[in-house]
Structure 1
Amino acid sequence: MPQDDPRDSSLETKFAPPQTWKQESADGLATSGMFLAGLIMVTRNRILAWPSLILGVSAFINQHPLRTKEGSTPPIGNLMLATFALVASYLPLILKPSSPAPSQQQTPLDFGPK
């Protein structure tokens, strides 16, 4: 048998993954950004929308494709959710109808025209 035969059992070595693959940890900032984006959608708090967007951009920039598990969610979803939360929190300011003139305003118990 030739010395460089790949089927030779004496040439076998133990498989050792690189050091960066041994530690699979969840990204805490990305998880916090996703939670904040969901909280913004529910409460429509405009102040929390900006930190959520920053955390979403951070998760997108710091993604490590070789460290992610097979079925994990890519960080682009986190960034899109943060962007849509920002839009949803500011959308009522843009689409808010103009209020009627002061003489035409109705009180809560006034149902008919004056």
Structure 2
Amino acid sequence: MLDDPRDPSLETKFIIPRTWRGQDNVDGLATSGMFLAGLIMVTRNRILAWPSLILGASAWINQHPLRTKEGGTPPIGNLILGFTALIAAYLPLFLKPGSATASSPLRQVPLN
């Protein structure tokens, strides 16, 4: 029978394609984008926010689902972190300078 999948004559050796390699190395651009995003949230440097967002978008666009290891983190986190760093860098420009201290319920009362 030629239709029988258990027929030993129909067996072929499994060969991994030459271009299909596991991603053992770390993506340097994605790692530097995450580092920049963390640095932006600490220093509030607005100039570094744009390269961090671009590096996050690059990591998301250049992902290869068949090449990533099982259980690896998806690169969408880099893009979200770059976007959040951009918001954290530019948000103080849109807030009023004295609005947070005037409406704060934890004002310091001088002791007599």
Is it true that 1:14 corresponds to 2:13 in the alignment? Answer: yes
TM (normalized to structure 2)? 0.74
Partner of 1:74: 74
1:45 aligns with 2:50: no
Give 1:11 deviation, angstroms: 2.9
Distance 1:53 1:3 in 2: 56
How far apart, in 2, do the equivalents of 1:14 and 1:35 lie?
44
Q: Is the 8 A contact 1:38 1:85 kept in 2?
A: yes
**RMSD between superposed Cα atoms in Å:** 1.8
Superposed CA deviations along residues 12-36 of structure 1, whole A, max 9, x for unmatched, are 2221122232242332211111111
Question: Is there any run of 5+ residues in structure 1 with no aligned partner, and where?
Answer: 99-114
Larger Rg: 1
Q: CA deviation at 1:96?
A: 4.1
TM-score (norm 1): 0.73
SS in 2 for 1:81: helix
Q: What is the aligned residue count?
A: 97
Structure 2 SS opposite 1:66? coil
Give every structure 1 segment of 4 or more consecutive aligned residues whose post-TM-superposition deviation is greater than 4 Å.
Answer: none
Give the superposition deviation at 1:88. Answer: 0.2
Q: Which amino acid aligns with 2:37?
A: A
Q: 1:25-40 alignment to 2 at 5 Å?
A: 25-40=25-40
Q: CA deviation at 1:65?
A: 1.4
1:86 maps to what in 2?
Answer: 86
